[in-house]
Structure 1
Amino acid sequence: MLDSRHIRTFHEVVSTGSYTAAARSLGYTQPAVTQQIRALERETGVPLFTRDGRRMRLTEAGETLARHAEVILGNLGAAQQQLQALARLRAGRVRVCAFPSANATLIPDAMARLLADHPGVRVELLEAEPPESLHKLLAGECDVALSFSYPGMRAELPSELVEIPLMEDPLTVLLPVGHPLARRHAVRLAELAQARWIAGCARCRANFLHICAEAGFDPDIVFTTDDNLALQSLVAAGVGLAVAPSLVLSFLCHRKVTGRVLEPHTRRQVCAYVLREHLPLPATELVLEGLRSVAAARVGC
């Protein structure tokens, strides 16, 4: 059985290039680092380093262990974070990570209901676009993650996660109020083939390129931002048009911007995700209950 402390020291030696630098980085003495590497070599039964003059090189066995060390340490770190998350959840402290438009719409109402009914629950709010939010969940950096996906672009869900569908969010097109098509209730994407465009986050941009291709054109993207307020300002200033989820319409800040239904109809699926073993915990259930309730009310509007 390999000692994780020895693997950590080995990884630091490989990363820094010497026992001396590794000792400095870890706060050890150089003899302590040497002893740990020797102990690791006894555990593995093979030498991990060889000297080439003044330089130290990995042996073939050392190269093999180096390829696995970062993964081993990453998994250990994630396990430790998830255990700490479990303790926080049992104490009624929940970290929720959501994408910007959800943080501006679903989260405020859900958290207001939660705190009104269960004032003992404490919530910490983080922000990240998918798939980063799911990576944070797997790494134990948050307890509930909100994410979205587009039709035909769903990735396989890791087995340790549970998906809770919340709502379908239709796409709209943001236009300056003086645009010739702004008087319509709905706008066909193909009618805007000659427009300049502002693209959003990587996932939204990929979907935008996909639906434009289906509409028969390659969009002229002149600006890219995942800041929804900046997006509105750019549309208002006439820099370009934008395709945005309907959630964004809930916090349109510019009177010079209007949203119209996009045809053909496209929707993104908004879901909450939790670690499977955290699903039954009361704090997790309360947060999910609030999110489901708010999402259902929004769909019904």
Structure 2
Amino acid sequence: MIDVQRLRVLRAVAEHGSFNRAAAALRLTPSAVSQHVAALERSLGAQVVARSTRGVTLTPAGRIMVGAAESVAAELEHAKQQVDRLGSGRTHLTIATFTSGGRLLLPDALAHLATAHPGTVVHVREAEPEDSLPLVRQGAVDLALAYHFDGPLPGRNAGLAWTALMDDPLHVVLAEGHPLAAREALDIAELAAEPWVLGCLKTETYLRRYAERAGFAPEIRGTTTDYFFARSLVAAGVGISLIPSIAQTPQMAGVRTVPITPPAPTRHLGVATIHRRNNPQARTLIKALQERAAALDEN
């Protein structure tokens, strides 16, 4: 049988990249960490880390075991929460969500949940996907309303189930008097000479990727972490911006939104949960989120 403590140690080694840093995080000695890892390797009959003077990296077997460690930790945390809640006699549901998706999708879904499961205590945490997905894996939240760009969901193979909700294309936002503001669609190559405002720092990588394909490097004039503020800067003439469609409500005077010709940059919205988790409240909420997303797609 695999020792859970050894899995915990391996998970810390993977997170921190060295035995010394993992030992400090776990309040163990580096020798104890090394012994736990060695014992795990003996029990598996396979090497889980590759050691070098620059630290340690996971082997393929190690990556499998770290995924298992995250699932075990999540199940234990979920079980602890259930035990803690037995005395109250009430069901709790904890949700992590990114801001724009939570604002547009979550309120109606929570109202439906309250009708279907009265008495459920709801906890909501604001978190971007890079933070919320680990919270799901760790069992700290029951589900996460999240998104990803091109490629697979980060961590999808680490015990997470992904329920797709909707696609959220990014549009170009320009000042109302901009010469291109009246266009029905724009090729991103037409924007090579424009200064840009970022409404989310993660979109910079995405913007640069699409700009590189179009043969230019974008000039960044403004950086924010708030799409509403970014649109305000666009209206003031600082630059243009690339903003997801659901983040463009409420509407703002002084700006115009223009779609990008395909293939357009797109966020893929969905809900992340732990595999095999039987939670009727979570299932009700996910179904309500799907219905809300479908209604938005029809408009």
TM-score normalised by the shorter chain: which range applies?
0.7 to 0.9
Amino acid aligned to 2:34: T
- CA RMSD, aligned part only? 3.6
CA contact (8 A) 2:90 2:119 kept: no
Shift in Å, 1:173: 0.9
The residue number in structure 1 matching 2:291 is 293
Structure 2 counterparts to residues 10-89 of structure 1, below 5 A = 15=24, 62=32, 64-65=34-35, 78-86=74-82
| Partner amino acid, structure 2, of 1:273 | A
Are residues 1:120 and 2:119 paired? yes
Offset from partner CA, 1:146-190 (integer Å, 9 cap, x none): 221223465451341111011111221111112111122222211
Asked if 1:223 corresponds to 2:222, the answer is yes
Aligned counterpart, 2:271 = 272
Give the superposition deviation at 1:134: 0.4
The alignment partner of 2:259 has SS state of: strand
Q: Deviation of residue 115 (structure 1)?
A: 2.2
TM superposition shift of 1:76: 7.8
Cα 1:268–1:2 change in 2 (3 A) is closer
SS state at 1:103 partner: helix
In structure 2, the gaps of 5 or more residues are: 10-19, 39-65
Deviation at 1:80, TM superposition (A): 4.0
Greater shift in the superposed pair: 283-292 or 214-223? 214-223
Three-state SS of the structure 2 residue aligned to 1:251 is coil
Q: Kindly, what percent of the aligned residue pairs are identical? A: 30
How far residue 73 of structure 1 moved from its aligned partner, in angstroms, is: 10
Offset, 1:137: 0.9
Counterpart residue number, 2:56: none
TM-score, normalization by structure 1:
0.72
Q: Which runs of 5+ in 1 are unaligned?
A: 17-21, 23-36, 38-48, 50-57
Cross-structure match for 2:176: 177
Deviations 1:8-65 (A, max 9, x none): 9xx99x649xxxxx8xxxxxxxxxxxxxx9xxxxxxxxxxx7xxxxxxxx65xx4614
- Could you say what secondary structure the match of 1:293 adopts? helix
> 1:99·1:129 contact (CA, 8 Å) conserved in 2?
yes
| 1:72-221 superposed matches below 5 A | 78-86=74-82, 91-152=90-151, 154-155=153-154, 157-221=156-220
* TM-score of the two chains, using structure 2 as the length reference: 0.72
- Single out whichever of 84-93 and 198-207 deviates more from structure 2: 84-93
**2 CA distance for matches of 1:75 and 1:110?**
27
Secondary structure, in 3 states, of the residue corresponding to 2:248? Answer: helix
Q: Is the 8 A contact 2:96 2:145 kept in 1?
A: yes
Describe how 1:239-278 pairs up with structure 2 within 5 A: 239-252=238-251, 254-266=252-264, 267-278=266-277
Which is greater in Rg? 1
